[in-house]
Structures are given as structure tokens and as C-alpha cells.
Amino acid sequence: MTEREVACIYYMYEGGCSKGKKGTFREACQICKKYKPRTGTAPARANLKKKKMEKIRERDIRQMLRDY
């Protein structure tokens, strides 16, 4: 599933979309074809999954270099 954390430029409020779509951020906006992310805005929440994967990857590289 796609993870869109930045609001769309057409998003006004929950259930309100200037393009006449549903405009529900956690449902319709995640799969909408008209989605265009806003620039210069912070995401609604941090991508913890990505952060965790980076941390695990760094740990594995350090461990691999130590064992080498």
C-alpha cells in the first residue's frame, strides 16, 4: 500500500477536496490519481518504518565491517 504522508494541494479539510473527490486523507487520498503533494510542508507523521529500516541497515553494515 502507498504511504502518502504529505497532504495534497487540492486537500482543504477532512472530507473536503477542491477537485470534487472524497478528500479523506487516510482513505481516498492514499489511492487517488489526482494526488499532488504540497511542497514545503512537513509530513503528517514521521515515516517510522523507513527510519527503523535505515537503523537496521546501518547496524548490519557496522557488524559486517567488524567481522571482516
d(CA 48, CA 65): 26
**Residue 41, C-alpha cell as written in the block:** 510542508
Residues 42-61 that bind ligand SF4 (CB under 6 A): none
Would you mind telling me the total number of residues written for the chain in this entry? 68
Which of 13, 29, 50, 66: binder of ligand SF4 (CB under 6 A)?
Answer: 29
Nearer to ligand SF4, 2 or 64 (CB): 2
Quick check: 6 binds ligand SF4 (CB under 6 A)?
A: no
Give the phi and the psi of residue 37 in degrees, each rounded to 5: -70, 145
Nearer to ligand SF4, 14 or 60 (CB): 14
